[in-house]
Structure 1
Amino acid sequence: MAEAYPWQHALWQQLAGRSQHAHAYLLHGPAGIGKRALAERLMYLLLCQQPQGLEACGHCKSCSLLAAGSHPDNYVLEPEEADKAIKVDQVRDLVSFVVQTAQMGGRKVVLIEPVESMNINAANALLKSLEEPSGDTVLLLVSHQPSRLLPTIKSRCVQQACPLPSEAMSVAWLAQALPECTEEERVELLTLAVGSPLAAVSLQAQGVREQRAQVVDGVKKLLKGQQSPTQLAEGWKDIPLLLLFDWFCDWSNLVLRYQLTEDESGLGLADMRKVLQYLAQKSRQSSVLAMQDWVLLQRQKVLSKANLNRVLLLEALLVQWASLTGQG
């Protein structure tokens, strides 16, 4: 069964303790906080034949079939390939499952994650099942970006926000999840993960601290004229594009904040503080705002899986970054 995270205790009591369940739930919140695990835990409970209080028993026929991935009344819908869209044909297969009678005589439970990866045709195909699911069917929708969902999808679900855990709770959990890291490293990873503890573990596994050090070093060399945008763009080929745009988006925000407040404590992680302070002092506010708008626009293209020329996009990013001080 899915892990029960300590920061989900109150939320679980609220969800699992309902005397009557809605036909559709939308579990939404930042990525990396355990929404999928929460949905799977609820899925087990809803299908369990001998629940123990607010938990699935873990050993009945239903729980055993779920654990084996062969429960006939359970359907999991996700992209066929990582970071790709959920297609309309996949949703049509799901709709066919929803209209069938439950084979084990109880509920049918559907889990869709991430629901925002459905294209417009797929989302529209799901609407009738959301509005009038046949029999005792419960749909669990998991979303990291609910703003991207159709209003008609959201309005047909009980919306359940899944908030970030507190920093103290996340750091305490990371001490067990990442015992090989120092406390300082765990705090840094949590900061890079924007407070999401599971995302911090994932970032550690992909070597994010080493990637960050490479990018920070490159940015410093760019501003000193020691490396060109082309050299850096080609050298960063193994670093996820979204991660790069997240960092540059964050840095442009911090530069702007410092221009407005001159508060050195608001300059983010120590590795870029001096650079950001320098850029804030040497750049026009209008230039930083224009840079910020451009970075946000390109980040949205990356998020929407647009067909982008990676090297040219990074070159354009770095040329604009250098031009903040009049070097571009």
Structure 2
Amino acid sequence: MAEAFPWQAALWQQMATRSQHAHAYLLHGPAGIGKRAFAERLMARLLCLQPQGADACGQCKACHLLAAGTHPDNFVLEPEEADKPIKVDQVRELVSFVVQTAQLGGRKVILVEPVEAMNLNAANALLKSLEEPSGNTVLLLISHQPSRLLPTVRSRCVQQACPLPSAEQSLAWLSANLPEATPEMLAELLELAGGSPLAAKRLHGQGVLELRAQVVDGVKKLLKQQQGASQLAEGWNAVPLQLLFDWFHQWAQLMLRYQLTRDEDGLGPADMRKVVQYLADKTPQGKLLSMQDWLLAQRQKVLGKANLNRVLLLEALLVQWASLPGPG
């Protein structure tokens, strides 16, 4: 059974005990807060033949079939490969499933994650099923970035924001799941993950603290002209592009905030605080705004899985970054 997170308790009681369910829910919130586990737990509850209070019984035929991954009335739609789009042919298969009769005589439940991975044709192919799913069908759509969805997709769902854990809840969960990590490491991981504990655990598995140290060291050497953009771009092969653009975009935001507020407490993580302050003091605001626009545009391409020349893209980023201090 999917893990039950303490920060989801109130929402779980609200949704699991409903006598009537909407035909489609859009469960949204930042990545790494447990939306998939919540959806899987709700899916089990909706398919269970003998639910025990707010949870699935775990013992009936439906629960056994679901646990084995062979439940005939359950359909999970996700990218065929990690970080790839959901294709229109996959959605057509889902549409064929929707029009079938439930084989166990109860509900059919569909889980889609992440919804924003659908390309335009795939999203349009889903609309009819979202609007009028046949029979007793419930669609659970999970989105980490609902702003990227078509308005026609959002409007056909009951939109449900998933609760964020408190810092105390996040650290307690992380400590239990990463017992080898020091409190300082846990705090740093959580900060890099934007407060999302599951994302922090995943980042730990990617060796993010080591990757971050490598990137920060490289940026400092770039600004001191101790290392060139081409050399750095080629040396960052192990760092995921999305992480890089998330970090550079965050640094640009922190610089703009400092220019506007002069608040030294808002300079972000300690590893780049002095650099952020230095660049904010030395960079004309118009130049910084242009840099931020460029970062946002490139980040969208990265998120959209565009076919990018990684080294050339990073060289362009680093050349512009190195030129921030000075006249616009």
Measured against the shorter chain, the TM-score band is over 0.9
Greater shift in the superposed pair: 134-143 or 163-172:
163-172
Aligned twin of 1:286: 286
Q: Is the 8 A contact 1:193 1:199 kept in 2?
A: yes
Report whether the alignment pairs 1:88 with 2:85.
no
Q: Is the 8 A contact 2:284 2:327 kept in 1?
A: no
> What is the alpha-carbon distance in structure 1 between the residues aligned to residue 90 and residue 284 of structure 2?
50
Deviation of 1:327 after TM superposition, in Å, equals 10
Greater shift in the superposed pair: 177-186 or 311-320:
177-186
Aligned twin of 1:318: 318
SS at match of 2:217: helix
Q: Is the 8 A contact 1:242 1:302 kept in 2?
A: yes
> What is the alpha-carbon distance in structure 1 between the residues aligned to residue 195 and residue 216 of structure 2?
21
> What is the alpha-carbon distance in structure 1 between the residues aligned to residue 156 and residue 276 of structure 2?
45
Uncovered stretches (5+) of structure 2, i.e. residues with no partner:
none
Report whether the alignment pairs 1:131 with 2:100.
no
Aligned twin of 2:13: 13
Aligned twin of 2:63: 63
Report whether the alignment pairs 1:25 with 2:22.
no
Greater shift in the superposed pair: 155-164 or 234-243:
155-164
Map 1:167-178 → 2, pairs under 5 A: 167-178=167-178
The one-letter amino acid paired with 1:205 is: G
Aligned twin of 1:309: 309
TM normalised by structure 1 equals: 0.98
> What is the alpha-carbon distance in structure 2 between the residues aligned to residue 121 and residue 157 of structure 1?
19
Q: Is the 8 A contact 1:30 1:163 kept in 2?
A: no
Deviation of 1:326 after TM superposition, in Å, equals 3.9
Aligned twin of 1:251: 251
Aligned twin of 1:299: 299
> What is the alpha-carbon distance in structure 2 between the residues aligned to residue 5 and residue 132 of structure 1?
32
> What is the alpha-carbon distance in structure 2 between the residues aligned to residue 83 and residue 108 of structure 1?
27
SS at match of 2:141: strand
Map 1:160-171 → 2, pairs under 5 A: 160-171=160-171
Aligned twin of 1:204: 204
The one-letter amino acid paired with 1:49 is: L
Map 1:265-284 → 2, pairs under 5 A: 265-284=265-284
Deviation of 1:264 after TM superposition, in Å, equals 1.3
Aligned twin of 2:264: 264
Aligned twin of 1:104: 104
> What is the alpha-carbon distance in structure 2 between the residues aligned to residue 135 and residue 290 of structure 1?
51
SS at match of 1:53: coil
> What is the alpha-carbon distance in structure 2 between the residues aligned to residue 249 and residue 10 of structure 1?
34
SS at match of 2:227: coil
Moved over 6 A (4+): none
Deviation of 1:163 after TM superposition, in Å, equals 2.9
> What is the alpha-carbon distance in structure 2 between the residues aligned to residue 131 and residue 282 of structure 1?
53
Q: Is the 8 A contact 1:86 1:119 kept in 2?
A: yes
Aligned residues: 328
The one-letter amino acid paired with 2:81 is: E
Report whether the alignment pairs 1:224 with 2:192.
no
> What is the alpha-carbon distance in structure 1 between the residues aligned to residue 281 and residue 21 of structure 2?
56
The one-letter amino acid paired with 2:226 is: Q
> What is the alpha-carbon distance in structure 1 between the residues aligned to residue 293 and residue 25 of structure 2?
34
Q: Is the 8 A contact 2:22 2:138 kept in 1?
A: yes
TM normalised by structure 2 equals: 0.98
Uncovered stretches (5+) of structure 1, i.e. residues with no partner:
none
> What is the alpha-carbon distance in structure 1 between the residues aligned to residue 120 and residue 258 of structure 2?
40
Q: Is the 8 A contact 2:233 2:311 kept in 1?
A: yes
SS at match of 2:213: helix
Q: Is the 8 A contact 2:33 2:196 kept in 1?
A: yes
> What is the alpha-carbon distance in structure 2 between the residues aligned to residue 194 and residue 43 of structure 1?
28
